């Protein structure tokens, strides 16, 4: 078993009485919109302009974009395939990171994403980097969503490679992040580990 950062983040926010933001939903929503508008996912200029013009607000299970709530759409195969390409563009990231800074203003927030501790909130009180093998994460998606295991495994490996090698905000733990391997742990067990870290800070 491996647990996802969104599941852990949502439970942790409930435990603390904090707001919860999944920044990955912003990149997924922008990818969904670009696909709907038939904008090439390698066109950084048009995607950056799209990000600049799009109004987003995060909701508990997804995102509200231009007044429309998106939930299951964010996990569609087309979005899964394209989100890493969209999120690799520096222009897109600059715009969405600025919005993430605004959302986190005032504190009292649990924010999850692939560059939170290094770029979005480098001053965060506690930084946690969750790890699990691509095999374990593919098994989790298979159990939760019924997706094809082998296809999801290959997709996760591809996304990890793109995200870790991108120029802007590459996927890596912050130097002062606490690394937790979630394999074999339930979401509640991971939350307890994070709560224990909070008590030590």
Q: Which of the pair, 7 or 30, is modelled with greater confidence?
A: 30
Cα-flanking dihedrals φ and ψ of residue 51, to 5°? -65, -40
What number is the average pLDDT over the span 95-119? Answer: 90
Please name every residue paired with 64 in a beta bridge, in sequence order, or none if there are none: 57, 69
Cβ–Cβ < 8 Å for 103, 63:
no
pLDDT at position 152 is 77
Quick one: average pLDDT of 38-53? Answer: 97
CATH class of the domain whose range is 5-200: alpha beta
Q: How far apart are CA 177 and CA 130, in angstroms?
A: 10
């Amino acid at each position: 078993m491996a647990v996802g950062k969104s599941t852990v983040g949502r439970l942790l926010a409930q435990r603390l009485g904090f707001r919860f933001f999944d920044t990955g939903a912003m990149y997924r929503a922008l990818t969904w919109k670009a696909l709907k508008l038939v904008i090439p996912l390698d066109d950084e200029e048009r995607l950056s302009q799209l990000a600049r013009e799009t109004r987003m607000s995060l909701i508990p299970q997804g995102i509200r974009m231009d007044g429309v709530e998106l939930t299951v759409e964010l996990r569609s195969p087309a979005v899964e395939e394209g989100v890493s390409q969209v999120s690799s563009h520096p222009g897109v990231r600059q715009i969405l990171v600025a919005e993430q800074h605004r959302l986190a203003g005032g504190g009292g927030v649990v924010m999850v994403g692939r560059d939170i501790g290094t770029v979005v909130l480098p001053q965060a009180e506690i930084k946690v980097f969750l790890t699990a093998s691509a095999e374990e994460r593919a098994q989790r998606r298979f159990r939760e969503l019924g997706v094809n295991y082998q296809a999801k495994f290959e997709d996760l490996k591809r996304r990890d490679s793109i995200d870790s090698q991108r120029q802007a905000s590459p996927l890596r733990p912050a130097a002062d992040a606490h690394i937790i391997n979630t394999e074999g742990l339930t979401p509640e067990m991971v939350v307890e580990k994070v709560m224990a870290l909070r008590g030590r800070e």
